[in-house]
Amino acid sequence: MFQSLAFDAFFIKATAALKPYLGDLVCIGGCANALYRYHEHAHDMPFPSLGTKDIDWASPQKLLQGKRKSIAELMIAAQFREEIMGSQEKAVVKYSPKDENLAADIEFLCSESGLPGGRSRSGTPLPHAVQPGLMVQPLRYLELLRHNTWKINLDLIPEFVALHNLRIRIPNPAAYVVQKVLIRDQRRSLQSAAKDCYYIYEVAVIFRNALDALAQEAASLRETFKPWLKRFPKIADALFADENAEGPVSALQVFTEMGGIQGVKTGDLTAEMISKAVAKLLDAMK
């Protein structure tokens, strides 16, 4: 499913451990992009998904525990290694497999909006405790990904039949695309920004027959996040203006550098194809 049996097993173990919190958490990032292929609105995608080394979860700013064990307790009980990234007030908690040969980790994130001030020397917001023992990195625009989430039945995915009757929340694709475009104003590596362009192209193809549904989600976003959605069209249109624009060129570069992705011939995809596919998506979201 995720192009690696070891990562599939890692995902199954992590998701099973977090079962008590699956109603609170939203799976984001590369995992969400791969999971889109199994949504009821999805259409066939000719190319495999990009590989990923992370499982990212968007959490509420305050994740109430109630009678449940804490996430920290669940992760340790499932035999994940707890890693403290940074020091003192800058520390963030991540979890990784005990098998150090598998380069993967689990990270929890929350929205930056509304949190008390305080930033590191690099300008990033200081970590925030969403739950005792769980310090996470706040990110701008993350609340977009928690708006009108969609769900995936994991036991419908052949590799995940062990996750019986588990449903996982993922961002609705319109919110996913808007967030990917808006985070370009943050300090991101060129590689990450290029992968985001390819992810947007994938969404455009996977949901090419569900543009009405994405148009409805975009309309809901405009009502809830007016200032951000006013900025989105201009940035997105410039990014994917034509086949020579940054979006199609960088997305194609990602595809090419992945060796055509699992043996797919690199000539099967062109910048023009990427530009046209994304243009239809962006038109539907206006």
pLDDT tens column, 156-165:
899 998 898 8
Check whether residue 204 and residue 134 sit in a common domain.
no
What pLDDT is stored for residue 48 in this prediction?
84
Check whether residue 150 and residue 180 sit in a common domain.
no
Q: At which of 121, 151, 171 does a domain end?
A: 171
Q: Please, which pLDDT band fits residue 117 given cuts at 50, 70 and 90?
A: low
Check whether residue 119 and residue 251 sit in a common domain.
no
What pLDDT is stored for residue 4 in this prediction?
85
Check whether residue 155 and residue 224 sit in a common domain.
no
Is residue 285's pLDDT more than 70? yes
207-221 mean pLDDT: 98
Check whether residue 130 and residue 179 sit in a common domain.
no
Q: At which of 107, 137, 171 does a domain end?
A: 171
Q: Please, which pLDDT band fits residue 121 given cuts at 50, 70 and 90?
A: low
187-206 mean pLDDT: 92
49-72 mean pLDDT: 94
Is residue 11's pLDDT more than 90? yes
**Domain containing 203: what range?**
173-286
The angle, 0 to 180 degrees and rounded to 10, between the axes of the packed helices 211-224 and 271-284 is: 60
Check whether residue 160 and residue 184 sit in a common domain.
no
Q: At which of 154, 171, 188 does a domain end?
A: 171
| Dihedral over alpha carbons 113, 134, 30, 248 (to 10 degrees) | 30
The CA distance from 259 to 175, in Å, is 29
Tokens matching residue 8: 């599939």
Q: Which residues pair with 81 in a beta bridge?
A: 96
Task: Tell me what percent of the residues of the chain surpass a pLDDT of 70.
Answer: 94
What pLDDT is stored for residue 68 in this prediction?
97
Check whether residue 68 and residue 115 sit in a common domain.
yes
The CA distance from 107 to 146, in Å, is 16
Check whether residue 21 and residue 161 sit in a common domain.
yes
Check whether residue 188 and residue 274 sit in a common domain.
yes
Check whether residue 189 and residue 254 sit in a common domain.
yes
Task: Tell me what percent of the residues of the chain surpass a pLDDT of 90.
Answer: 76
Check whether residue 213 and residue 279 sit in a common domain.
yes
Check whether residue 68 and residue 208 sit in a common domain.
no
Tokens matching residue 124: 């990033």
Provide the mean pLDDT of the chain: 92
Question: For the chain, what is the domain count?
Answer: 2
What is the distance of C-alpha 122 from the center of its chain? 24
What pLDDT is stored for residue 268 in this prediction?
86
Q: Please, which pLDDT band fits residue 180 given cuts at 50, 70 and 90?
A: very high
Question: How does strand 150-153 pair with strand 134-139?
Answer: unpaired
H helix count then E strand count, the chain: 10, 9
